[in-house]
A = this chain, B = another copy of it.
Amino acid sequence: MKPTRESCILPPLLPRELKTKPTHECGVFAVFGHPDAAMIAYYGLFALQHRGQESAGIVSSKGSDSPFAMHKSMGLVAQVFSPGDLERLTGTRAIGHVRYSTTGSSNVKNAQPFVVSTARGQLAIGHNGNLVNAAQLREELEAKGSIFQTTVDSEIILHLLAQPYGNGGVLSALRRIEGAFSVVLMGEREIIGFRDPHGFRPLCIGKKDGAYMLSSESCAFDLIQAQFIREVEPGEVVIIDNAGIRSEFPFRTARSAFCIFEYVYFARPDSTIGGINVSKVRVEMGRALARQHPVEADLVVPVPDSGIYASLGFSEELGIPYYPAFVRNHYIGRTFIQPSQHIRDFNVRVKLNLIGEAVKDKRVVVVDDSIVRGTTARSRVVNLREAGAAEVHMRISCPPHKHACYYGIDFPDPEKLLANQCTLDEIRKYLGADSIGYLDPAGMIRATGRPEKDFCTACFTGDYPVPYDEKFDKYVMEKRAGRARLLDKEEPRLL
């Protein structure tokens, strides 16, 4: 027998240097009333893989007569599930989850969905987002006697749901949580999907063969040939059971705050959000960028894959030829052996190799979606210079990143963000570029065709729709041991 392991420590998924992009947070999927529920969820997660590549899981149910079946593991969807695993996930209902940890350590214990047994029967949950009052809720629940098995804020939602309430049922529980949350929840009789009142993260409804589905993004419906119905509204609770689909709106009304970075980078280009195709928004961002920061050049070169559509818009707006001079290696996989000292900038070049001949003696515009730390962007410029590019102009299809995200995206610490350390000209010099240009906030928003008030732009502007105390949270959620002193409490003792 091959032992099944549950271990507290897992090797890093990718060499740290490769994590040059803000990491996606999570993706959720649910299906109610389909004979192949687990299989449908599997394909749904497959299409949402870009939202979380650390762990994947599915929980299925036959209804109130049998226990939920679960399979989850560290790894990609295609690695986590074998045909036998899917066969064991019987039932016509299923929820699934892919995860890239923002809270909780990288650990199979923290992989979702979570399944528990409560006075309300069995519950399974999958959560995309980040609660801002997790620490307070956890302190409160522990004081009442709750025990916690993970460091993930999603476990708190389950505890709240399990508390004895009056007739209000779970809606009163949901009113306690604050922050960003797009959640799928499976009980013994229904599947529930809900989105926080600000609508930070996407969630949408689809239908196939008469069965309703929920998905973080619409691209999952394309793959399984389901019909896209509509998005779940901010603050909406959608209940799907044998009687059909219905909605509740238990939350206080709040300003809309959809994460604009989903348009810029996170969402798949083939998804539709807010009625607009994401790739088209990116082309528009490229056009706006070209108008704001035009340049005379011979080639527009995208950084694949995130910069492709903005590059095309930039190229078309200025009539400069587009050339994919960076070639992506599709085989690097999730692990490879660290570069020897003999090879400089290996990690940057192993992902993308430059076609040197294409840029030699050319004035090149490089278009990417964002700059975080700047090390990768700098290597690209060096790469182009060494290949003989006459000029290198860097263009970025969003404003400079200066602030942390508390709503589910894993940016580096703000002090490590390049735009917090340098002026625009210092950035240009650091990168070694001949010029640099960022799209401004207004241009970015205008490219979506939606009004500014719809969006959260906190990572650019520092304007946070929901307040958050990072310090308190870290001590309570992650560093359980020793927190007594930090919170001026007596040390715990058993006897």
Contact = CB atoms under 8 A, between A and B. Distances in A.
Contacts of A36: 340, 342
B280 A335 contact: no
A236 interface: no
Given A64-B481, A78-B335, A280-B358, A171 B495 contact: yes
A169 interface: yes
A53 B75 CA distance: 21
Given A6-B111, A322-B322, A494-B187, A145 B121 contact: no
Interface string A1-18: 101111111110100000
Contacts of A169: 493-495
Nearest to A139: B119
B312 A222 contact: no
A484 interface: yes
A362 interface: no
A466 interface: no
Contact of A164 (B144, B151, B309): B144
A106 to B, nearest CB: 10
Interface in A428-447: none
B121 A336 contact: no
A481 B120 contact: no
B120 A145 contact: no
A65 B492 CA distance: 11
A190 interface: yes
B493 A189 contact: yes
Given A42-B337, A111-B6, A222-B353, A117 B164 contact: no
Interface string A258-275: 000000000011101000
Interface string A150-173: 010000001101111000011100
Contacts of A8: 69-71, 88
Nearest to A60: B8
Interface string A240-280: 00000000100000000000000000001110100001011
23 contacts: A3-B79, A3-B80, A5-B5, A7-B88, A46-B331, A50-B331, A63-B481, A64-B482, A65-B482, A83-B337, A143-B164, A144-B144, A170-B494, A188-B493, A189-B492, A190-B495, A222-B349, A222-B353, A237-B495, A270-B327, A270-B353, A272-B357, A279-B358
Given A7-B71, A225-B344, A312-B323, 6 more contacts: A4-B75, A7-B88, A43-B343, A144-B145, A190-B494, A305-B330
Closest 6 CB pairs of A and B: A3-B75, A121-B492, A5-B73, A78-B333, A277-B357, A49-B331
Interface of A: 1, 3-11, 13, 36, 39-40, 42-43, 46-47, 49-50, 53, 63-83, 85-86, 88, 108, 111, 114-123, 142-149, 151, 158-159, 161-164, 169-171, 185, 187-190, 192, 208-209, 219, 222-225, 237, 239, 248, 268-270, 272, 277, 279-280, 305, 308-309, 312, 316, 321-324, 327-340, 342-344, 346, 349-350, 353-358, 479-482, 484, 491-495
